[in-house]
Amino acid sequence: MRVERVLAPNPGPFTGPGTNTYVVSDGREAVILDPGPLDRGHEAAIVDTVGDRRVVAVVVTHTHPDHAPLANPLARELGTDTAGYAPGPDFEPDRLLREGDVIRVGGVALQVVFTPGHSSDHVCFRAGGVVFTGDHVLGPFPGQERTSVMVEDLAAYLESLEKILRLTPSRLYPGHGSEVDDPVALVSWYIRHRLEREREILAAVAGGASTVGEVVEKVYREVDPALFPMAARSVEAHLRKLSAEGRLTMAGEGWDARIEATR
């Protein structure tokens, strides 16, 4: 199996240096993974990297705008199909992928691993000890050792992290940032980091914080307030998990959602 990375020109605080598009190939066949945003220059760079290999599919890990919008136009240009877990705002899959499905590229089998959490439609792709993780687990960004992920559903996310651990991978190819050669250490850190944050949030609620905003101001007191809106989304995901577990009650949503400790 050969893995080539084509970096999309969309750097930013959430995308790091940009989206990693992967051309995964074996012999004369290739699959394109996470083609990225609609960008003609990036499309040309992908087509150039593919060369005269036959593209069996254009697949996406999930349908966020930095991963999927180029998929359909690129598949049309290359005369192939798109595949993903679900349709999205700018993505129409020709084939829906489910847990355990296999995409064959030459002699390589890319297996679908359903990993909801970052988004509800997220999948990873596994080939032996290698996992392509999309936004489920990110690689390090330049000048930053670890990058944590925006999470939509925290309980699902933690389960999906455990799922990756159970695969005991030896290398990850993330959707952003560089490759990870110590995946077990990194994913274990992700899990510890989330559980630690959960303890901090519970402590803030026990200490009297009664809205999402108050929890953010306590837990993130050392963080630049410009990042509070992003922190609030993460705190809200934590609070929803804790509320679903009956460990507190929550009413409303957003910054002013009311929290009450259960006793």
List residues near Zn ion by CB under 5 A.
Answer: 64, 135
Q: Which three-class secondary structure string do you get for the chain?
A: CEEEEEECCCCECCCECCCEEEEEEECCEEEEECCCCCCHHHHHHHHHHHCCCEEEEEECCCCCCCCCCCHHHHHHHHCCCEEECCCECCECCCEECCCCCEEEECCEEEEEEECCCCCCCCEEEEECCEEEEECCCCCCCCCCCCCCCCCCCHHHHHHHHHHHHHCCCCEEEECCCCCECCHHHHHHHHHHHHHHHHHHHHHHHHCCCCEHHHHHHHHCCCCCHHHHHHHHHHHHHHHHHHHHCCCEEEECCCCCCEEEECC
If the CB atoms of residues 26 and 39 are measured against Zn ion, the closer one turns out to be 39
CB of 33 to Zn ion, least distance (A): 14
Q: Judged by CB, which is closer to Zn ion: 10, or 80? A: 10
In whole angstroms, what separates CA 34 from the centre of its chain? 11
CB of 36 to Zn ion, least distance (A): 11
Q: Compare residues 62 and 241 and give the one whose CB is closer to Zn ion.
A: 62
Q: How far apart are CB 60 and Zn ion at their closest, in Å?
A: 10
To Zn ion, the closest distance from the beta carbon of 221 in angstroms equals: 28
Nearest distance from residue 263's CB to Zn ion, in Å?
Answer: 37
Nearer to Zn ion by Cβ, of 157 and 214: the residue is: 157
| Smallest distance, Zn ion to C-beta of residue 115, A | 12
Residue nearest to Zn ion (CB): 64
User: Between residues 106 and 117, which has the closer beta carbon with respect to Zn ion?
Assistant: 117
Residue 21 bridge partners (DSSP): 6
Q: Which is nearer to Zn ion, 137 or 250 (CB)?
A: 137
> Closer CB to Zn ion, residue 39 or residue 135?
135
CB-CB contact of 46 with 79 (8 Å): no
CB of 150 to Zn ion, least distance (A): 7
